[in-house]
Structure 1
């Protein structure tokens, strides 16, 4: 059975998801944004074996612990789209600018473009390309459990910022319409920050996109 524990990390309260198969105890971390020691302790307490680190996009608060954890666990880094490489290349510079601890550099083993299918135990996750917040943003969707990881594309009653380099507001709105609102209304999603919500709730109540839900 698929299990998820959300662990907020850093001053940005970014949601890192520990996702695992309860039978095999194999796990992935989605958006390990910082505090690698804290995340390692959580994984150890759950008795899990991490198989990979998945990234929705290259911003510091989503990728800050990835380099250190990939080295500690000797696991591959999967995602995001290659268009976010410039963000990952700048991660140490951006960390210094914000006064954060300087993280290990992130070396991506598999770039994603959308349309791929990732696997964890018997669970399958579809990769959905959703640029706008960043040019290389991807999301992960488990159809069996109707669960979507939106990163910083869609939040409960809000959407991602687009005032960062290479952000694009119209592209973000198009991504939400195409990659989020095409899913069943009962689909739950875990965003990069804040509480969970459902696609149906956002269609009805999200002031930034509700009028576009049709």
Structure 2
């Protein structure tokens, strides 16, 4: 599997394209906006979009989903249904954050922890990691030792928990019980900022170091 990060929106959100090298089938994870830029990246790599994946319902991650569906008609998978209220409220988020004319959408498939998502010959594991939002999910490709973690974890920081139905203790448990057991060698793409590894964050992240041994 290969990947490309396409920063989108004024929040510089890490929209990510994962693709199967053999079939050139691709999944776009968290198309928060700038749909033309995302479609251009797919075209440059000569990829066929197979599906859209969503980690959680915040506008900088999911604000471009409806527009991308309008252009491509592909299925949408994720997040967990606990984030339905965020997706249903997309027009309100649009006004709050100054994103013009952002529409809500209905995922083809809500995801749960333990689910799998597939495109081409690639299979991703789904982990339910609430805390930043109640329905946040993470996508993990075990053969590549690579995860897309959305806004659960960042290099040197963790996701905010001051939004509606966010919870700090739940977020810490998600990191401890869902992410870190995958292994210190796992590289992760966060929702914003540079990549890191779970091992680096376990040891040096000031919110986490010394907390889990």
- Pairwise mapping of residues 82-93 of structure 1 onto structure 2 (< 5 A)? 82-93=81-92
CA distance in 2, matches of 1:42, 1:143: 25
CA distance in 2, matches of 1:98, 1:200: 34
Determine the structure 2 residue equivalent to 1:23: 22
Determine the structure 2 residue equivalent to 1:39: 38
Does the 8 Å contact 1:118/1:126 carry over to 2?
Answer: yes
Local SS of the residue matching 1:23: coil
Determine the structure 2 residue equivalent to 1:202: 201
Does the 8 Å contact 1:131/1:171 carry over to 2?
Answer: yes
CA distance in 1, matches of 2:42, 2:91: 25
Does the 8 Å contact 2:35/2:68 carry over to 1?
Answer: yes
Does the 8 Å contact 1:203/1:210 carry over to 2?
Answer: yes
CA distance in 2, matches of 1:149, 1:173: 17
What 5-or-longer segments of structure 2 have no aligned partner? none
CA distance in 1, matches of 2:152, 2:12: 16
Determine the structure 1 residue equivalent to 2:131: 132
Local SS of the residue matching 1:144: helix
Local SS of the residue matching 1:69: helix
CA distance in 2, matches of 1:23, 1:62: 28
Determine the structure 2 residue equivalent to 1:107: 106
What 5-or-longer segments of structure 1 have no aligned partner? none
6-15 or 103-112, which deviates more:
103-112
Determine the structure 2 residue equivalent to 1:7: 6
Does the 8 Å contact 2:129/2:175 carry over to 1?
Answer: yes
Paired residues, what number?
Answer: 213
Cα distance, 1:23 vs. partner?
Answer: 1.5
Cα distance, 1:120 vs. partner?
Answer: 2.1
CA distance in 2, matches of 1:123, 1:43: 17
Local SS of the residue matching 1:47: coil
**Aligned-CA RMSD value:** 0.9
What is the TM-score normalised by the length of structure 1?
A: 0.97
Cα distance, 1:80 vs. partner?
Answer: 0.3
Local SS of the residue matching 1:57: coil
Q: Which runs of 4+ in 1 moved over 2 A?
A: none
Cα distance, 1:82 vs. partner?
Answer: 0.3
72-81 or 36-45, which deviates more:
36-45
Does the 8 Å contact 2:52/2:75 carry over to 1?
Answer: yes
Cα distance, 1:213 vs. partner?
Answer: 2.2
